[in-house]
Chains A and B, each alone.
Chain A
Amino acid sequence: MTEFEQVLEKCLDDLEQGDSNVDECLARHPRHAAQLEPILLLATGLEQARALEPSATFKARARAKLTLHMQAHPRRSVGAVFAFWRFATSLAVIALALLATGTAYAQSALPGDLFYSWKLASERAWRAVSPDPIRTDLAIANRRIDEINAVLNDPVRGALALEGYQEVLIRLQVEFDAETLEQLLPQIEIELEPTEQLIPTLPLEPNTTSIPGLPLNATATPQPENMNTRLTELPEILPTISAPVIPTSQRPSTEPPNVIPTIEIPPLLP
């Protein structure tokens, strides 16, 4: 900044602060007075332009136009909009949380329980979005087997679980050909491993109640070598399955309570 600019800046500050007027500034800086005078006069002249007022006609016309515009374009309170969205978001979060909690809780429901329908609905949704429906069906079948094991002493609930199991088997038969299932055989073995562990412990006796048409020694373990034959048998078997009820009196007294003495679980691929 040059010396003149420094002087000019000081004078402008003094004028702005009201500490001195133009004449006083010029008197303080006689060496630059000639150069300073037109600039300082211009600065004060510009300030006089503050007296400029728009005409009353214009102000009234523009105000009327603004009023019409505001009526035509009413503003919605940002606070109200924000509050609405906050409420809607909270509601959605609560609904999602309830849905998630309920779904998680329903997974342990057994046939006849309040949340059992919820569990079945969640399984349908699971299957609908699953990229691998066969694997999902096998997992669901295993769930039904677990339920059958869990409600052994309740024939009504056991029948419900068995019905669910049959539905899964029918789906597998209807929707997938034998070749596909054969290709997926290793997965089937993996999926049914828990059932395999349970079923062989069953003391299967020819004279106990069994599901008509099913071999009494059927297990959940798929048999690769003759799988196609078994697949074709399944539709004939399933419709004949009746309520898997066995009188308690026929149950061996030494039998542990957590096995399935009366329900012969049809193997997935008999």
Chain B
Amino acid sequence: MRDHQTARLDLPLPGETPLVHRAKSGDSEAFAQLYDAYVARVYRYIYFRVTEDAAAEDLTSQVFLKAWEGLDRYQMGGSPFVAWLYTIARNLVIDYYRTKKESVPLEEVHTLTHNETPVEEVEARFDLQAMRDALQFLTDEQQQVLILKFIAGLPNENIAQIMNKREGAVRALQMRALQTMAKYMEKKESL
């Protein structure tokens, strides 16, 4: 049971503190190691916040460029490094939607095809795509709490830090978001 719990939580990288310390001192190799450790997590977060794969990749790349430039602002000993990366990612996503005047209609998202991928992968992608689409119907905060909680696997304490909310408020948001998303998916399946 405990092993299962460990698997559910998005724990910090072992030896993260010295790596961050070295990166803050200008060690690019240390920062590259942090990139290797966290790029997938950041990508997943952004993937479910935007509807285009290319945008997800571009924003993920930008997160690490910005993190390198703003490393001085990261306070060691506070929230985990990955939580700081999620904060940068969140701001970039907000900027992305702010500058992206026109939104992609949902119908266009559904027509995305992956012709050259195996059948299993297409099915898996379909499920992911369905979740991605459903998430787009939630408010920004609801998306945040669900992605950070269930996909990023952060504890509520860190989510509250990232969203600048109290843990109780985060919990309430999570439950409301889950109910809304579940209702949407039920309706979608019944169509």
Contact = CB atoms under 8 A, between A and B. Distances in A.
Decide whether A and B assemble into one complex.
yes
Contacts of B19: none
B64 A66 contact: yes
Contact of A70 (B43, B44, B68, B150): B68
Given A52-B44, A54-B43, A75-B68, A39 B178 contact: yes
A22 interface: no
A38 B182 contact: yes
Given A5-B175, A39-B178, A73-B69, A63 B40 contact: no
A62 B64 contact: yes
A52 B46 CA distance: 12
Main secondary structure of the interface of A (DSSP, over half): helix
B24 A52 contact: no
A114 interface: no
Given A38-B182, A58-B57, A63 B35 contact: yes
Nearest to A52: B44
A18 B5 contact: yes
Contacts of A28: none
A42 B72 contact: no
Contacts of B171: 9
B127 interface: yes
Contacts of A73: 68-69
B25 interface: yes
Interface residues of A, number: 40
B40 A70 contact: no
Interface in B125-170: 127-128, 131, 146, 150-151, 153
Main secondary structure of the interface of B (DSSP, over half): helix
A78 B72 contact: yes
Contacts of A18: 1-5, 8
Contact of A62 (B5, B60, B150, B182): B60
A79 interface: yes
Nearest to B153: A50
Interface in B59-97: 60-61, 64-65, 68-69, 71-72
A161 to B, nearest CB: 59
A28 B5 CA distance: 20
A79 B174 CA distance: 41
Given A42-B178, A54-B40, A66-B65, A77 B26 contact: yes
6 contacts: A39-B178, A43-B178, A52-B44, A69-B68, A74-B28, A75-B24
Interface of B: 1-5, 8, 23-26, 28, 31-32, 35-36, 39-40, 43-44, 47-48, 57, 60-61, 64-65, 68-69, 71-72, 124, 127-128, 131, 146, 150-151, 153, 171-172, 174-175, 178-179, 181-182, 185-186
- List the 7 shortest-distance A-B pairs measured between CB atoms, nearest first: A18-B4, A46-B150, A70-B28, A18-B5, A75-B26, A54-B43, A62-B61
